[in-house]
Amino acid sequence: MTGEPKINHASSDSATMLEKMEILDVEKVINEFEAMTKDAENVQRETLKKILEENGSAEYLQNLGLHGRTDPESFKACVPLVTHQDLEPFIQRIADGPPASILTGKPITNISLSSGTTQGKPKFVPFNDELMETTLQIFRTSYAFRNTEFPIKNGKALQFIYSSKPSRTKGGLFAGTATTNVFRNSQFKNAMKAMQSQCCSPDEVIFAPDFHQSLYCHLLCGLIFREEIQSVSSTFAHSIVHSFRTFEQVWEELCADIRQGVLSSRITFSSVRSAMAKLLKPNPELADLIHRKCSGLSNWYGLIPELFPNVKYIYGIMTGSMEHYLKKLRHYAGDVPLLSADYGSSEGWIGANINPKVPPESTTYAVLPNIGYFEFIPLKVNAEEQVQDKVDASFISMEPKPVGLTEVKVGEEYEVIVTSVAGLYRYRLGDVVKVMGFHNSTPELKFVCRRNLMLTVNIDKNTEKDLQLAVEEAAKLIAEEKLEVIDFSSHVDLWTEPGHYVIFWEISGEVRDQVLEECCNCLDRSFVDAGYVSSRKVNAIGPLELRVLRRGTFHKILDHYLGLGAAVSQFKTPRCVGPTNHKVLQILCDNVAKSYFSTAF
């Protein structure tokens, strides 16, 4: 490829026709979405019926006594709520082969590896054509709404997307991260073309065996096509921030490559080198321009629009554990809007962001009622009741009954249960969401946190969200010194008596001890959960400990997960590291530069 083939708009009528046909009919997508969400309850019934009819012959469903019934009432009566652990033996048999109808009617052909940041090791989940179709439907839906507010021209997208190390299961099934399964699918490229969002990098870069080389080339491709770039994206915001932090390190090398038209020797894979050779030509003017622009920036503020003058927005999942990266992302973005991408998981998609103008902190996701069958376990929001729950263990086992998609209530929090098109039935996803409103009759959900990610010593209960808020508060103290928390994690140390919370911080520079002592106290005070505060007051929980890490520690953690087969596109820093996640805990503990204990109580 000497540059991607340029579409000549005036070349011929038929070419223009073809081009028009290829572009997604945004109005049609929105109309279909509107119609479907007005009738969410029926669409849910129909979706469940379709899933059960298509998979009724699967061994799992056969054994549950449905006898061909497909109505929600029979389904709920016969099929138990399950976790990944319950389904693991079934999924393992699918992975081990031979092909059989175990969870789905048609045998599963691909396995997705979920990011595994929660459990410490990737989980296997089934992936099939039907799941691919729902993925594209989500992409189309949010694109249709996005493009109405932020229209893009037929340019290119700088997408920091990567493939995981491809592998085969014992039974010969392809195993990769869910995003890898999506990017490998032939339909993905066509869909991106239809959404005018074709990746500016060649496939060899996306599928390069080494993520560092892939990232360098993504940046280089972005610069080569800088005028055409309409959007900058990745699956998760973490990866976008990581990319531009890397840019800060390698920008002069990138300029040198562009100046000479010769790729840096750091790129060693011949497939990548030859793909890049087709794009890279000596261009001293471009190199000078980028050099000038970068040199003119103050602390890299507004880097993205400086590099890509026609960028319309930055796109990626920015809610939940990604919120921490928003500050840095805004710094790079200057006045370019940040738009959060959709809500889903390797197990299946849930909702689309149909209000792209809303800032990421307030983004909600409208559930698509035809991409799965959804149920919701009501959770209590009242802190006192939560404390009571902990004390009264028998109460905990009496979990409230799940309600249907259209039965959820505004303002309440729920755990999400998914019945997917890929063989998961009444599967507890482990995510907590809050219903913020309804779009027609489908709920708009705000992502709250992972349910099992919890700091707890005794009656205290602090979620990932509580941790994020505490870190945000304490980080203000170092922001006064123009420093930032690059990344953070936590752990409950029960080796000490009493147990205590440990917060790990990687900071962008040196901070005085006195300031870090204040940060530590501020963290301790910021956990306002009634159980925590009362336990701290009577020393039933020990003083919070802030451990400051050496620079690069979170890179080591990322590399560790990549080594396990994860892909950067799907990476989420583990916010709470459990005692069984030995390796990550070891990386954290081996890299502590300083540690402080709170004197707040």
Interacting residue ranges for ligand AMP, rule: CB under 6 A: 114-115, 178, 317, 319-320, 343-346, 429, 431, 447, 450, 570
Residue type, 39: D
Q: Shortest distance, CB of residue 112 to ligand AMP, whole angstroms?
A: 8
Alpha helices in 456-529 (DSSP H): 464-479, 513-526
Output the CA–CA distances (angstroms, integers) from residue 61 to 56, 423, 424, 491, 531, in the order listed.
6, 10, 10, 40, 42
Q: Shortest distance, CB of residue 362 to ligand AMP, whole angstroms?
A: 12
| CB 43, CB 36: distance < 8 Å | yes
| CB 329, CB 311: distance < 8 Å | no
HEC string of 422-460 equals CCCCCEEEEEEEEEEEEECCEEEEEEEEECCCEECCCCC
Q: Shortest distance, CB of residue 212 to ligand AMP, whole angstroms?
A: 21
Residue type, 486: I
Instruction: Provide CB contacts within 8 A for 220, sequence distance 6+.
Output: 254, 257, 258, 263, 276, 280
Cα 211 from Cα 162, distance rounded (Å): 7
CB-nearer residue toward ligand AMP: 163 or 535: 163
Cα-Cα-Cα-Cα torsion 508, 509, 514, 517, nearest 10 degrees, comes to: 30
CB-nearer residue toward ligand AMP: 332 or 427: 427
* Residue corresponding to tokens 């940060």: 519
CB-nearer residue toward ligand AMP: 115 or 230: 115
Q: Shortest distance, CB of residue 431 to ligand AMP, whole angstroms?
A: 5
Cα 420 from Cα 425, distance rounded (Å): 7
CB-nearer residue toward ligand AMP: 37 or 345: 345
Stretch (H or E) spanning 168:
strand 167-168
CB-nearer residue toward ligand AMP: 202 or 316: 316
Total number of residues shown for the chain: 601
CB-nearer residue toward ligand AMP: 321 or 406: 321
Cα 456 from Cα 541, distance rounded (Å): 10
Q: Shortest distance, CB of residue 326 to ligand AMP, whole angstroms?
A: 12
CB-nearer residue toward ligand AMP: 81 or 256: 81
Nearest by Cα to 432 from 466, 407, 457: 466
Q: Shortest distance, CB of residue 111 to ligand AMP, whole angstroms?
A: 13
CB-nearer residue toward ligand AMP: 447 or 488: 447
